[in-house]
Amino acid sequence: MSQSIELVEVGMRDGFQSIHSIIPTGSKIAIMEALYAAGIRRFEATSFVNPAAVPQLADAVEIMRAASTFAGLDAQALVPTARQAERALTAGVRHIAFVFSVSPAHNQSNVRRSPTESIDELGRIIAASPAHIRLRINVATAFDCPYLGRVSMDNTLACVERVIELAPHAEIALCDTTGRVTPDHVGQLFQRAQERFPGVRWAFHAHDTYGFGIANVHAAWMNGIKAFDASIAGLGGCPFAPGATGNVASEDVVWLFNSMGIRTGIEVDPLLVVARDLAALPDAVTGGRIREAMAARCRGPAIQALSPG
Amino acid sequence: MSQSIELVEVGMRDGFQSIHSIIPTGSKIAIMEALYAAGIRRFEATSFVNPAAVPQLADAVEIMRAASTFAGLDAQALVPTARQAERALTAGVRHIAFVFSVSPAHNQSNVRRSPTESIDELGRIIAASPAHIRLRINVATAFDCPYLGRVSMDNTLACVERVIELAPHAEIALCDTTGRVTPDHVGQLFQRAQERFPGVRWAFHAHDTYGFGIANVHAAWMNGIKAFDASIAGLGGCPFAPGATGNVASEDVVWLFNSMGIRTGIEVDPLLVVARDLAALPDAVTGGRIREAMAARCRGPAIQALSPG
């Protein structure tokens, strides 16, 4: 009867890639170790991209090698193209994450391809992957696009259908790229997706830019979703609003589910320790809410001001 | 088919009372006017308390007089005791809000009475009130107590039952006093309350200290609640965690419902202008999430970092 969710820690990819000062590989592995010790068993650990474009992730091979030494750890590496997938597979990566956007404008800006070209690229990745390779597909702008606004559910589901035809066993993450999504929209799209494509494994990638991250995660959960991307300390920021927060924070998501009696396998306190260290990194844009509230000291009497006069 | 909610702006009471520097009465009325212009039609405008204990609210009579000049404005004044209710009624207040805590420890700290003594006090207030006086009852620590932790639903419902016996026509607000409540708990308590006491008007008073305010408001809405307390700019802070945020922000709640196509009658943009002014007040502890995100400028390309290498 006990229910559980799976948290996918994306801070080492989505968070680190936005930090300009290079974090030493050893420090990254120490962070992964601390998060593993807190109970995290799944990471989007890095991305195979052009090292000249993203020097922070130039150590993708070393990170994935380190990840493979943790017992029971499932580490996925993000790849945007078949060429990068080849690099990842050569490096021994066993879980590949592919990303494309439903929105043509966003996909063009992100990977200089149309959504159709990206889905073709996915086909080439699948063709090149041995059967044991696991696949996660991140459907960006599944709800809302920074350039075009609200994305129609029909449009998203049509893209998802083409992806499922190519990769019926992939896990599919619907991503709130802008953080502007509301819980009703999250619930409705996941409901429709599950009705139309039964048997698919789903995940939700929430942003917290407008403070709706936890509400949206809860709405996805209420609609049957059990895998959630989150970033320790909310690391990553919002690429569309400099200085604003981006990914929903892992510690907030874990605290939500732990408080509701839903098993995460993760302890909050050690997450908070890591989150505080990360918040101190140069260039780090962090988010998350429980860190500050838990750091604040209880001072006792409530609304003393209301004492009867 | 169009659905709507009612927002109760509590910043002038819950927010102002925590600010030590006295805000001139004229400034308070100007703020009320700006919020009214944005579409807010219901306020908890002040509290009748000992002016020596809360100098900030010593102008309760003037504030309620000013409120009565706005067409269609419903302004309630909080009173903790029968003695203060008498002052309020004498001043012409037509909508009284009474507060007590389910938790004996919290009620003792707050109004130096047991919950039973407070409910007796409510009986005296009702006896002294003419029939046209509207009544709102704020049930503090309905979910969770800063001193005793989680409050059992049975305990809260037993208190609510005694209140409903005394005041069957009152609106009853279940208050998340600590901000530690999770959406499942909010939904369950409101479900049980509505089943057990059909026909009662309910409201939800959310705090956002741990970032769960919007998730909890949405959970209450999903369970049939249509009246929500909120504070402009999240003004008020958390009395138990100095420096941490308290009340859920009005602009966040309005943005949530407006975005979901649920009518609030309130525009977000003018709220944001008032919220920015209030955030600049000396001593103001503010919260809320959309203000910063909306102030941040869109800078274009998304995760450019992922450009194919």
Which residue of A14, A117, A151, A218 is the best one to mutate when testing the B interface, meaning the one whose CB has the most B CBs within 10 A? A218
pLDDT in tens, B45-94: 999 999 999 999 999 999 999 999 999 999 999 998 999 999 999 999 99
Mean pLDDT of B200-219: 97
CB nearest B111 (choices: A140, A146, A306): A306
For the ranges A83-92, A179-188, B164-173, B292-301, the lowest mean pLDDT is seen at B292-301
Nearest alpha carbon to residue B78 among B39, B125, B115, B20: B125
From residue A212, how far is each of A24, A127, A221 by CA, in Å? 33, 38, 14
**Quick one: closest CA in B to A16, which residue?**
B305
Interchain contact, B146 vs A306, CB within 8 Å: no
By DSSP bridging, strand B144-145 and strand B149-150 are: antiparallel
**Cα A130 to the chain's mean position, in Å?**
25
> Is residue A1's pLDDT more than 60?
no
Q: What percentage of chain A reaches a pLDDT higher than 90?
A: 86
Interchain contact, A211 vs B289, CB within 8 Å: yes
Number of Cβ within a 10 Å radius of residue B68: 14
> Is residue B265's pLDDT more than 90?
yes
Handedness of CA A24, A26, A28, A31 (dihedral sign): negative
Interchain contact, A308 vs B83, CB within 8 Å: yes
Interchain contact, B211 vs A252, CB within 8 Å: yes
Nearest alpha carbon to residue B138 among B265, B13, B308: B13
Q: B78 vs chain A: nearest CA distance in angstroms? A: 9
> Is residue A208's pLDDT more than 90?
yes
Q: What are the chain A neighbours of B52 within 8 Å (beta carbons)?
A: 309
Residue with tokens 């996915």: A122
Report the C-alpha gap between B21 and B28 in whole angstroms.
Answer: 13
First to last CA, chain A: 52
Report the C-alpha gap between A293 and B238 in whole angstroms.
Answer: 9
Which residue of A299, A306, A307 is the best one to mutate when testing the B interface, meaning the one whose CB has the most B CBs within 10 A? A306
Secondary structure (3-state) at B283: coil
Secondary structure (3-state) at B280: coil
Nearest alpha carbon to residue B42 among B256, B201, B228, B199: B228
Mean pLDDT of A63-89: 97
**Which residues have CB under 8 Å from B55's CB, separation 6+?**
B22
Interchain contact, A244 vs B211, CB within 8 Å: no
Structure tokens at A235: 């690391």
**Quick one: closest CA in B to A100, which residue?**
B306
Interchain contact, A256 vs B214, CB within 8 Å: no
User: Per-residue confidence at B237, pLDDT binned at 50, 70, 90?
Assistant: confident
Interchain contact, B81 vs A308, CB within 8 Å: yes
Interchain contact, B307 vs A49, CB within 8 Å: yes
Domain ranges for chain B, please list them.
Answer: 6-306
> Is residue A306's pLDDT more than 70?
no
From residue A283, how far is each of A50, A115, B6 by CA, in Å? 21, 32, 42
Q: What are the chain B neighbours of A264 within 8 Å (beta carbons)?
A: none
For the ranges A266-270, A304-308, B135-139, the lowest mean pLDDT is seen at A304-308
The CATH topology of domain B6-306 is TIM Barrel (3.20.20)
Mean pLDDT of A137-165: 97
First to last CA, chain B: 52
Report the C-alpha gap between A70 and A32 in whole angstroms.
Answer: 10
Interchain contact, A296 vs B244, CB within 8 Å: yes
**Quick one: closest CA in B to A103, which residue?**
B302
Backbone φ/ψ region at B22: left (φ over 0), alpha (ψ -120 to 50), beta: beta
Q: What are the chain A neighbours of B185 within 8 Å (beta carbons)?
A: 260
Q: What are the chain A neighbours of B60 within 8 Å (beta carbons)?
A: none
**b/e sequence B122-156, b meaning 16+ C-beta within 10 Å:** bbebbeebeeebebbbbbbbbbbbbbeeebebeeb
Residue with tokens 């592995």: A29
Q: What are the chain A neighbours of B240 within 8 Å (beta carbons)?
A: 298-300, 302
- Supply the pLDDT for residue B240: 74
By DSSP bridging, strand A149-150 and strand A144-145 are: antiparallel
Q: What is the ipTM of this complex?
A: 0.91
Q: What percentage of chain B reaches a pLDDT higher than 70?
A: 95
Q: What are the chain A neighbours of B84 within 8 Å (beta carbons)?
A: 308-309
Interchain contact, B219 vs A218, CB within 8 Å: yes
Report the C-alpha gap between B266 and B279 in whole angstroms.
Answer: 20
Q: A284 vs chain B: nearest CA distance in angstroms? A: 16
Average pLDDT of every residue of chain B = 93
By DSSP bridging, strand A149-150 and strand A171-175 are: unpaired
pLDDT in tens, A221-264: 999 999 999 999 999 887 777 777 899 999 999 999 999 999 99
Which residue of A57, A258, A289, A294 is the best one to mutate when testing the B interface, meaning the one whose CB has the most B CBs within 10 A? A289
Report the C-alpha gap between A23 and B175 in whole angstroms.
Answer: 45
Burial degree of B200 (CB within 10 A; 0-12, 13-18, 19+): middle
DSSP tag of B32: H
Burial degree of B219 (CB within 10 A; 0-12, 13-18, 19+): buried
Question: SS3 for chain A, per residue?
Answer: CCCECEEEECHHHHHHHHCCCCCCHHHHHHHHHHHHHHCCCEEEEEECCCCCCCHHHCCHHHHHHHHCCCCCCEEEEEECCHHHHHHHHHCCCCEEEEEEECCHHHHHHHHCCCHHHHHHHHHHHHHHCCCCCEEEEEEECCCEECCCEECCHHHHHHHHHHHHHHCCCCEEEEECCCCCCCHHHHHHHHHHHHHHCCCCEEEEECECCCCCHHHHHHHHHHCCCCEEEEEHHHCCCECCECCCCCECEHHHHHHHHHHCCCECCCCHHHHHHHHHHHHCCCCCCCCCCHHHHHHCCCCCCCCHHHCCC
**Which residues of A are part of the catalytic machinery?**
238
> Is residue B208's pLDDT more than 80?
yes
Q: What are the chain B neighbours of A184 within 8 Å (beta carbons)?
A: 260
* Helix, strand, coil tally for chain B in percent (to 5): 45, 20, 40
Average pLDDT of every residue of chain A = 93
Options B159, B175, B238, B298, the catalytic residue: B238
CB nearest B110 (choices: A243, A260, A306): A306
Structure tokens at B209: 């200290």
CB nearest B298 (choices: A241, A296, A301): A241
Report the C-alpha gap between B88 and B226 in whole angstroms.
Answer: 27
> Is residue B239's pLDDT more than 90?
no
- Supply the pLDDT for residue A281: 86
- Supply the pLDDT for residue A11: 97
Contact indicator for B45, B63 with CB cutoff of 8 Å: yes
> Is residue A308's pLDDT more than 90?
no
Report the C-alpha gap between B96 and B205 in whole angstroms.
Answer: 16
Higher pLDDT: A299 or A82? It is A82
